[in-house]
Amino acid sequence: MKKVLCIGSVTTDVIIKPVDHLPNPGELQYIDSSAMFVGGCASNASMDLAKLGVPVLLCCKLGQDLFGHFVYDTCKAAGVDVTPVIFDPSVQTTTSIVCVGSSGERSFLYNGGSTSALMVEEIPKTALEQADIVFIAGALLNHKLDGEPASRLFKKAQAMGKFTVMDTAFDPTGRWMSGVEAALPYLDLFMPSIEEAEKLAGIEGDFDAIADVFFAKGVKNVIIKAGKRGAYIREGGKPGYFAPTYLSVKPTDTTGAGDSFCAGFLAGLAQGFDFNKSAKLGNAVGTHCVMELGASTGIKPLADIYRFMNEHTDEVPLDELF
């Protein structure tokens, strides 16, 4: 099985629920639950991959603080190779307060901290050498890595024969395309969400037109994560299509669902699956994510994911059994 290197966004998530509105200044508001988890696109995807049984390395920057050690220890315990992780006492570990509404949707209060400080020069060459798939997760939050530094990393990785992948996060700074454009010509696969893809392309609702914008920038393949619609797949110049997801499962918490889709898709590529079969696996992994509170809590080994898929062929038909 191929090995994946996840680079970029990590956080400590403090998840509180239900939060349907914030209290007025000076007021107190009761909630039902609070819990602390590792979050962030790179750490979520790496833990999901490890739980699935895919060999995975994590390269990120952490502060030399309690949150940083919590992230490191949790990822290591999940089976992630944390050898490339960098501790920096000059920064705080990235933290996020995740407010989960009664519907399961979430909003965030975010301290960029260590994620914003990771530099391309700090990524160990040995980590690149060991990996078959190089994945920058949470682009637009990796401020010192975004854009031209990421392009240098991907260009180097492709020269080494690696498959390069990037997804994005919501950009509160409003840079959008200018924050990722330099890296796009060196991407084998670009995987934004539909909300992020619309902002990046400046087009709403038209998946084909949005993908065309990314292809014009040099991307080789495009996947757009589309929530209840599943995932839109566009391989090179081929027509786009949707891989459906499992709508019968009521979400408990959607935190990390997009990262789980990415992990499931990359798990498919790591096993040599084509894009269609990898996307179906990605949707099944994403569905397991939303069954539990926390970004990685609901992820199970591949054998359990395949069993779920084969039990739900009436909902999402499979071309072949997993």
Instruction: Indicate the DSSP class of residue 193.
Output: B
Beta-strand pair 241-243/231-235: antiparallel
Rounded to 10 deg, the angle between the 194-201 and 207-216 helix axes is: 60
Residue 75 token pair? 């990822």
Q: Return the percentage of the chain with pLDDT > 90, whole number.
A: 82
- Is 16 domain-assigned? yes
Confidence band of 320 (pLDDT split at 50, 70, 90): low
- Is 78 domain-assigned? yes
> Tens digits of per-residue pLDDT, 233-287?
999 979 999 999 998 888 887 778 899 999 999 999 999 999 999 999 999 999 9
Confidence band of 321 (pLDDT split at 50, 70, 90): low
Rounded to 10 deg, the angle between the 257-270 and 41-52 helix axes is: 50
The answer on pLDDT for 127 being more than 90 is yes
User: String of b and e for 19-56 (b: at least 16 CB within 10 Å)?
Assistant: beeeeeeeeeeeeeeeeebbbbbbbbbbbbbbbbbbbb
Report the C-alpha gap between 269 and 101 in whole angstroms.
Answer: 34
CATH number of the domain that residue 281 is part of: 3.40.1190.20
In the chain, % helix, strand, coil (3-state, to 5) comes to: 40, 20, 40
Residue 287 token pair? 């569905």
What is the pLDDT averaged over residues 175-183?
97
**pLDDT score recorded for residue 203:** 97
**pLDDT score recorded for residue 259:** 95
Q: Whole-structure pTM over 0.95, yes or no?
A: no
**pLDDT score recorded for residue 48:** 97
Least confident among 64-68, 139-143, 249-253, 286-290:
249-253
- Is 316 domain-assigned? no
- Is 104 domain-assigned? yes
Contact between 203 and 213 (Cβ < 8 Å): yes
- Is 231 domain-assigned? yes
CA-nearest of 290, 282, 291, 289 to 309 is: 282
Q: Return the percentage of the chain with pLDDT > 70, whole number.
A: 99
- Is 296 domain-assigned? yes
**pLDDT score recorded for residue 315:** 87
Report the C-alpha gap between 5 and 166 in whole angstroms.
Answer: 11
The answer on pLDDT for 161 being more than 70 is yes
Residues 6+ apart with CB under 8 A from 315: 246, 247, 248
- Is 299 domain-assigned? yes
The answer on pLDDT for 179 being more than 90 is yes
* Total number of domains in the chain: 1
The answer on pLDDT for 31 being more than 90 is yes
Report the C-alpha gap between 314 and 322 in whole angstroms.
Answer: 15
**pLDDT score recorded for residue 294:** 73
What is the number of residues in the chain? Answer: 322
Residue 219 domain boundaries:
4-20+30-311
User: What's the chain's average pLDDT?
Assistant: 94
- Is 321 domain-assigned? no
What is the pLDDT averaged over residues 195-214?
97
